[in-house]
Chains A and B, each alone.
Chain A
């Protein structure tokens, strides 16, 4: 660290630190944390470390581990939504009665994103039956998530939720008749809000509104906060929505010291409301503004390269060989995507066998499909290289242990009257009892199907010609399993049911998940999801426990619940190649040696997602209400996004970017998006200059 930075580190100033990715900003934040703790001798002074996402807390947690003595109460590493939830819960008695809730003196139930969508579903389903939303073609889960997202946007951007429909409608330039869906959306969110107020349910939007409208304006609360936190370190401010910036800006004068860190050219979560423009206000509020930059020739060249790719009129500052030393392409023509994955696997294998550490390699794509993970994983596994995936959300329902738990729950609750798929029972049965095979499992399920009983037949009830085909061990296991289900029929507390099913049966010797630790932790996740689901009902909503359990199972099966849990597998195996969507990688704040870019012709590198019921820009603070969203806006946004993405990726790459390009992309199309066109233009110009020389 240079001398100027060292001086700042130890000052009490309010500092705004910004710069490109990987220029040492978070490192400085960690040093600052350690410095503040080391200086705290007498009266403890609380430090609030605010990060935009939970995953970004780890450098600070690591830094704390290096501090020998400090009191835990002195440092809180939080996201703003964590702080909001904690405070609303704590100060509920102060605000409950003035916030429109029907039962303010009873504790509220906090909704997760999943449970919010579940309740939104209860509001929207009858509307769909009446013909609402008929002109949009969306799966139910997407429809629900976009409605919930609208409410959240209103809260974090700071406009009344009753204006959602109007804002969206005014920006629409398509067919007039399509505007009806915005009215439908408004009606749905109104009904949802009323339902929450009636039932003391706090979705994220209500939590934010209560916090900023009622708590933040309350002097007692402010006093409390000021006593709690004296110093602020706020990292990745650009990834937070504007309400967080409002709060911090208002709080600013009360902090003894403050350090706000911002990544230039970032704001990758703008579709979730991130607003870098709003975050940049701290530059003027701060007493000192510092710009960090990688000053190496290499970093300069990467910056220039990214800028020249975006602006194809910008004079070239480098030669063709400079580009080739950083941007690689396949050395042979690849026509189809699966072939490309094979080629990428071969190239990665060569690197790893040549001594490159697997955690220095990342494979990225705008979207990462299951089949890509599966195929690439398969190819790499042939050479004993592991692949780990990091995706914002993955569905638990696809995990074998979850399938087993859910299926046995249905078998143990015939009163739910849920349909069973013979193929699935066969496969789950064969998987749960390794002694079995798919053929014998099928003999049993075929018989079950013929009897139409909806339950696994008792061993004694199996026809002779089937039971003759089972050996004694198989019979024994089958009997244990059916007995267990019989004994646990009608257990409505599914946490108990799942926990015992796994503990007493599935994880026991002779059953499919014996010694399978990962399936144990997956079971725990399902149980947590169930508990949150049950908690969201609190005691305000009348629901029968059996009905609740059935609702949970149905929602898991439909992919609504247990579908958005944050995958933390990336922690599991650091000695593996990471595959992740580009936005998730950028959010990781980590540099690697080698990046493999898949699907480079896709527009997903820069285009916003088509969401017919919501719009991240129209519902943002910078949007001029009443303006129309046109194709020009889309083009401008795409260009801005591409610029951010390119800079972000180049800054996070130490050695080489591999453009994994095939004639036909994963979707089977010949895709030639902006990214490929811009890069090709760069190659062409460099070649021309070389020839002109």
Chain B
């Protein structure tokens, strides 16, 4: 471990040999680097027995993958096998591992499945809809008159369903985070004096939701955590064996830890007490849609038995940007007009790296900071961005650049408009990988075409699958679509596939299209002929043969291998089955009706450096963990970045509801008051007010995250919103003025 150059702060951390340690890190301070080296050091130098591991817990699959890669690289550079001696898990992955040790303890069978968020959403929305039909009057009573007057009944109904879904979702999350089953919540409600009608509705849906999960033999993500904790809590032997297996636990992104995550890790570390927690409380931006609580890390770090460390140096940004981020930090701590929110950010301030550091801060580009105070309309803000970006790209063709916006809808609009203005856009961070992944669905379509090879429609569908990688290229896809239409029109497909020199009678706009179509058709014909021959193989091998000809990334290929294994298993177990049954099974998997293993890393890591000279558009949230040379922060107004002041607007207060309008905060508060009788009784409206402060805090941190994404230059702008009545976010106004004064 001696051949890397370390900062003093990193050296102190890497000297760790055991005990509790809490680390506050600033953005760009090399958290992953330090923790990966610490994990590798423990694997290499501590006295781990052969069946013990260093456990690293992190927040997302991407981060887990990043850690695995880094630790593996360090170990393999030392000649040690990758992947052994350590385990990197997200909290959900860890919980799943714990439950799988003894599923019977959690009342599960060996083959329990875990439903993903989209399936859980679907179930919940169906249940909300059902409940709305059962008790229309109660649901009606939630809707404000003003909203009803302004909107048609259909819009009222859909929006109500969607909003209630969010409320129920928050209710269930809160219950599960406090380890309460639906039955336990029912007991609390039975003992409550006057539960609200919304609480009763939520509870009914919670019960129905759990019944739906039980029926499927499935768990959702929150159950995983709850049941993992219960397994550890109830089975001493299991706890002991896992405490032995993981004598060291390193926790990354600890600012996003929830109460139950902390409880699980506390149990696991209660024997050896070797627990290192790293996080940046200033980057806690997941509070509003998870039960993350950055206070937990702050309190941990303050404990007397915890060795307190900081990673304050960052080589990411140029000095002016660091100074702006620190200005925001100090302003929010000491000058925010709403004193309640002054704890949004905390020290340490970001320090520049010292001379001789391997990561020197870059020089700023001009302008280093440009915070626009013009009151743009929504469209004009985009016009401003387009003009500015065009100029920037011309001057800095090799730089990386990102435009951040608060919500997905705005990101999509920006991408669309940039595209129209012929600015090269990358939407990779917006992509839903599931949609583009080859899956049982694609294999299903190809097998159908082999099952009925004389059917032109099925054949055309196979064509589409073969060239599906061109979906995003509008021009090429147009050619694909034309070929598809042409195949569909064929009366005798054998003349297309098996004539010696087939002719394509399709009209094309230009030579390029025609040549492309010819290439595609020739390739398709040869591939189909090969696939036709492959039908003589056992079905599982036919599938793998097909896979060899598709353009696949490793995850897709691995998934298809799994599908072929499944098919082999089906045919071994049911020799009497024919292709019809197998195809139907694949169809069920494709429709997600049948649980099927999928590889954990649904998301790919994103590397901004691969998109130089293009514009990456993303939400502020998705940008966390990434960095660009130039960053544009958009929509910096008092709607998206409120300060909990009277003139602000609050996204979480929904116009559809009668007061109090922040129903998610209200339901959480009402449930918490039942869970903890020592808390003050629930008073409607208070939670809405408190949540304004929570939102304001989180938004300051979101702004901080946005600023610290920039390496060499930062531009900020705001728009006045749909009704033209929004103004510049207070925090931005303040720091712009302060920064201008200082510089």
Contact = CB atoms under 8 A, between A and B. Distances in A.
Interface string A461-475: 000000001000000
Nearest to A469: B492
Nearest to B496: A439
A371 B540 contact: yes
Interface in B613-643: none
Contacts of A680: 50, 80-81, 84-85
Nearest to A138: B573
A684 interface: yes
Contact of B43 (A370, A403, A419, A684): A684
B235 to A, nearest CB: 16
Interface stretch (A210-218, A267-275, A586-594, A670-678): A670-678
Contacts of B529: 437
B453 A338 contact: no
Contacts of A323: 79
A661 B83 contact: yes
Contacts of B599: 336, 664, 668
Contacts of A458: none
A625 B76 CA distance: 49
Interface string B490-523: 0011100110000000000000000000000000
B537 to A, nearest CB: 8
Interface in A408-464: 419, 421, 423-424, 426-428, 430-431, 437-440, 442-443, 446
A371 B535 contact: no
A687 B44 contact: yes
B80 A469 contact: no
Nearest to B567: A371
Interface string B453-478: 11000000000000000000000000
Contact of A370 (B48, B73, B541): B541
Given A426-B453, A439-B493, A680-B50, A370 B538 contact: yes
Contact of A338 (B73, B85, B498, B561): B561
B81 A659 contact: yes
Most B CB within 10 A of own CB, among A419, A431, A437, A446: A437
Contacts of B561: 337-338, 371, 375, 666
Given A423-B579, A424-B578, A442 B452 contact: yes
B680 interface: no
B82 interface: yes
A443 B599 CA distance: 40
A439 B541 contact: no
Interface in A129-177: 139
Contact of A438 (B450, B492, B544, B558): B450
Contacts of A668: 558, 562, 597, 599
B540 A677 contact: no
Contacts of B498: 437, 439
Nearest to B45: A688
B558 A672 contact: no
Interface string A641-657: 00000000000000000
A681 B545 CA distance: 39
Given A423-B579, A426-B535, A439-B454, A339 B78 contact: no
A557 interface: yes
Contacts of A670: 83
Contacts of A351: none
B459 to A, nearest CB: 9
Contact of B536 (A400, A469, A679): A400
Interface string A313-343: 0000000100110000101010111110000
Contacts of A424: 578-579
Contacts of A333: 68-69, 72-73, 76, 82
B51 A378 contact: no
B326 interface: no
B81 A371 contact: no
B565 interface: yes
A398 interface: yes
A10 interface: no
B427 to A, nearest CB: 25
A339 B554 contact: yes
A521 B579 CA distance: 28
A139 B572 contact: yes
A661 B576 CA distance: 36
Given A370-B540, A371-B564, A664 B558 contact: yes
B364 interface: no
A676 B81 CA distance: 8
B50 A430 contact: no
A655 to B, nearest CB: 18
Interface residues of B, number: 61
Contacts of A679: 81, 84
A337 B555 CA distance: 10
A679 B81 CA distance: 8
Interface string B533-552: 10111101100110010000
A437 B494 contact: yes
Interface residues of A, number: 62
A362 to B, nearest CB: 21
Contacts of A681: 49-50
Contacts of B49: 312, 681
A378 B547 CA distance: 12
Contacts of A683: 79-81
Given A139-B573, A336-B599, A438 B579 contact: no
B597 A312 contact: no
A447 to B, nearest CB: 11
A438 B43 contact: no
Given A370-B568, A371-B540, A439-B493, A661 B82 contact: yes
A369 interface: yes
Given A333-B69, A438-B532, A664-B558, A324 B497 contact: no
Contacts of A667: 565
A224 interface: no
A312 B50 contact: yes
A690 B440 CA distance: 50
B451 A371 contact: no
Contact of A427 (B69, B83, B536, B557): B536
Contacts of B535: 423, 426-427, 430, 438
B677 interface: no
Contacts of B573: 139
Contacts of B532: 430, 437-439
Interface in B11-52: 43-45, 48-51
Contacts of A428: 536
A79 to B, nearest CB: 30
B453 A371 contact: no
Nearest to A401: B536
B81 A661 contact: yes
A534 B26 CA distance: 80
A246 interface: no
Most B CB within 10 A of own CB, among A139, A312, A423, A559: A423
B575 interface: yes
A374 B554 contact: no
A135 to B, nearest CB: 14
Nearest to A686: B79
Nearest to B65: A335
Most A CB within 10 A of own CB, among B80, B453, B576: B453
A78 to B, nearest CB: 35
B494 A469 contact: yes
23 contacts: A323-B79, A333-B72, A333-B73, A335-B558, A336-B554, A371-B544, A421-B579, A421-B580, A424-B578, A430-B532, A431-B533, A437-B494, A438-B453, A439-B532, A442-B453, A659-B81, A666-B561, A677-B84, A679-B81, A680-B85, A683-B80, A684-B43, A687-B79
List the 5 shortest-distance A-B pairs measured between CB atoms, nearest first.
A681-B50, A336-B558, A421-B578, A680-B84, A427-B535
Given A430-B536, A679-B84, 13 more contacts: A312-B50, A320-B79, A329-B82, A333-B73, A419-B576, A423-B579, A427-B536, A438-B535, A439-B453, A663-B83, A668-B562, A668-B599, A681-B50
